[in-house]
Amino acid sequence: MKIALLASLCVAGALTGCGGGGDDTPPPTSQVPASASESTDGFVSYLKALVASDADTLPPVDVGNVAPPADDTSMPVPVN
């Protein structure tokens, strides 16, 4: 009886550890979002996403079409 209970708990634990939690969010290096070229806020938020990710282990991203936006009228934004 104890062996069956122990085996059941092991199987339940193994199935719990294997399932769920699928994260379908693409990594930030899959492509540069259009918002990164449209506004400084979009560019800074993309850079923050790159820093927060493990970008060193991800494939490189093509930045050939990215033009960092310039805004000379707004106040500087602190980057934390």
Predicted local confidence at residue 44, as pLDDT: 86
Query: In the structure, what pLDDT confidence band is assigned to residue 60 with cuts at 50, 70 and 90?
Result: confident
User: What number of CA atoms fall less than 13 Å from residue 56's CA on the CB side?
Assistant: 0
Q: Please check whether residue 15 lies inside any domain of the structure.
A: no
Q: Please check whether residue 51 lies inside any domain of the structure.
A: yes
Residue 62, C-beta contacts closer than 8 angstroms, at least 6 positions apart: 31, 32
Interval 32-37 mean pLDDT:
88
Q: Please check whether residue 45 lies inside any domain of the structure.
A: yes
Predicted local confidence at residue 21, as pLDDT: 58
DSSP calls for 40-66: HHHHHHHHHHHHHTTGGGSPP---TT-
Q: Give the number of domains in the chain.
A: 1
Asked if 37 contacts 63 with a C-beta cutoff of 8 angstroms, the reply is no
Q: Please check whether residue 57 lies inside any domain of the structure.
A: yes
Q: Please check whether residue 78 lies inside any domain of the structure.
A: no
